[in-house]
Structure 1
Amino acid sequence: MKFFQRVLEPLVLAMGLIGIICVTLMMLHITFDVVLRFVFNSPIRGTITIVSHYYMVILGFCSLAVAESRDAHVSVEVFTELMPRNVQSGLAAMAGFLAAIVFGFVAVRTWLEAIHKMEISAAIQQGSLTIPVWPSYFALPVGCGLMAVTALWRAWAISKGAKSTFGPEIDHELGAEELSNG
């Protein structure tokens, strides 16, 4: 299990870095577009397409495995909190295995779609500019595939009673006092 984590962790951290780069590039791209549009009346061509078909897609799907590796996905634990700890762990492991199966299927299906978009050279016409968008379709299977592998690793770790997260520790147990002070 340690070997699998040593292989998986750098991949997930790389996805996190790609996400950080996308957020930074998107921020700079939009800022320059706004400044050029309103100061010089000369916007950057293709901004809407590049932001919506590249930055946002890559950011959204690269972040899945990062959130999973840190147990940072949204969860509602109204009834499970009342159950014994071993039942909670069993349900968490089962949910992880189910997530791995679902994201595995999504990765395969989106891979087929990405190949199709590449074959037809999918592009979007924005004004007089033609922007190829087929490369962004590959972010979906990569992100979903890594999410599936990460969910599978976490489910396995939970089922063995081992530490099931990596990266910066996140405190999920914020009390009402901490929330009111924060």
Structure 2
Amino acid sequence: MRRLVDVLTTTLAVLSALAMALMMLHVTADVAGKYLLRAPIPGTAEVVANYYMIAAVFLPLAWVEARSQPIVVDLFYTMAPAAGRRAMDLLGTVLTIAFYGVLAWLSWGSALAAWRIGEIVEGTWKVVVWPAKFLLPLGLAIACIVLMPRLADLLLGRDPGPRTEPA
């Protein structure tokens, strides 16, 4: 099971990195076209905002959570006794799952609505955006699934694995 999670989360992280690379190339080509050829690429802003940025932010969430490396603030954590750190880990994990879960559920409804109407964005060019709406609930739901074994370990009093150390 751990191998499947590793493959899935790594695949999502690679897709996110690919989206960032494509965004960089797309925007560079758009700017070059605009200033060198007086012909920008139509729909660049729409594609960047509706595809690349969503993929770059939400697809790697599961990868970050699987490695237990989200952004953390260790102000009180490092000073707390072991029981306090365990309680904070448990509360943080429960709240993260709840937050991701609610966002996934709400964005799933939005994605279905966009799919039903064939949502597009019209700027200088029509851009079909409904497929990108599914990236948000996908990334969030997989992050929730990845966090479940951590929650189970915390509830059963087992060590959930390494925690990010402060930089």
Pairing partner for 2:161 from 160, 163, 180: 163
Pairing partner for 1:118 from 115, 118, 141: 115
Pairing partner for 1:14 from 2, 11, 17: 11
Structure 1: distance between partners of 2:112 and 2:12:
21
Pairing partner for 2:165 from 147, 154, 172: 172
Paired residue total: 165
Structure 1: distance between partners of 2:145 and 2:94:
10
User: Could you say what the CA RMSD is over the residues aligned between the two structures, in angstroms?
Assistant: 1.8
Residue of structure 2 in register with 1:37 after alignment:
34
Pairing partner for 2:130 from 107, 129, 134: 134
Structure 1: distance between partners of 2:53 and 2:159:
36
Percent of counterpart pairs with the same letter?
24
Residue of structure 1 in register with 2:43 after alignment:
46
Structure 1: distance between partners of 2:119 and 2:33:
29
Paired amino acid for 2:47: I
TM-score after normalising by structure 2: 0.89
SS of corresponding position for 1:160: coil
* Deviations 1:27-85, CA, capped at 9 Å, x for gaps: 11011111111111111111000001100011111122122222222221222222212
Gaps of 5+ in 1: 166-170, 175-182
Residue of structure 2 in register with 1:151 after alignment:
147
Larger mean Cα displacement after TM superposition, 92-101 or 113-122: 92-101
Structure 2: distance between partners of 1:60 and 1:53:
11
TM-score after normalising by structure 1: 0.82
